Structure 1
C-alpha cells in the first residue's frame, strides 16, 4: 500500500530492529562465544538447519536482550562466493552498541570471562563527559565489535 503523504519517509514505517546479520567462519565457535559473552542459554539460540544436516549455509539465531543476531556460516563454495560478492566497501556494520546501567560491573563480569576491552578503548572505560563507553576486543567476541555505553548526567 503506497503512502498518500509525499513527505513520508522510511522512518515512518519502521517498527523496530529485526536482527543484526553477522557472517562468521565457524558457527559453533561463534555460538560458544555468544554464550560466554552474554550468558545465553539453549532457549536463546536456534540453529537452522540443525548441526549434522547438509546445507549451503547454516544460521544461528540468537536472542540477546531482545535483539536477534543472525550469525551466518557459509558452508558451500557457492554460498561463500555469493556472500563475498555482496560487499559494503569500507562500510557495513561497524559495531553494535548496548546501553548498560553499570559499565564497571559489566566490564568486571566480562574480564572474569576473558573478554578484554579493545578498539579505541584498550585501557578500559572512557568518560566522554555525557557517557562512559568501552569497546570490547573483537578477538574475544567472534570478530564482532561491541560497544557498551553508560549514560549519565
Structure 2
C-alpha cells in the first residue's frame, strides 16, 4: 500500500483512529442493545417502542459503517470483533429483559455516553485540522443528543 499523505501526521491519524475505534465500539454495542430491546419490549407502549427502537438501531447500523470507513481512510485497521468492541466500549451489556421504562432510562444513559465518547475525540481532530472527522463527530453527537432527548421525553 502506498503512503498516506492527507496532511495529517501518522501519529495524529493513529490517535484519532483510536478514539474513533472507541466510538465505533460504543455505537455497535448500543446497536446490539437497542436491537435486543426492539425484540423484547412488552407492555402498553409496545408498538410505539418497538418501532422507535427499530428506527434507532437502523440509524446506528448505518453509523457503524461511516465510523469504520473513517478509521480506514486514516490508514488504520478498524476493530470488528465482539471481543475488540467489548474491550473498547463504555456501554454495558444487558443480559436481562428490563421493563420498558428501564429500557428507556438505560438507553438515555447510553446515548449520552456515546456523545461523551465522540466529544472526547474533538481535541485530537481539531489539533490535526481533521475536518472530516470533526464533521462526523458533530453529526454523531447531534443524532445521539436528539435521541437521548426523545427517550427522556418518553420517560415523562
Q: TM-score, normalised by structure 2?
A: 0.32
Q: TM-score, normalised by structure 1?
A: 0.32
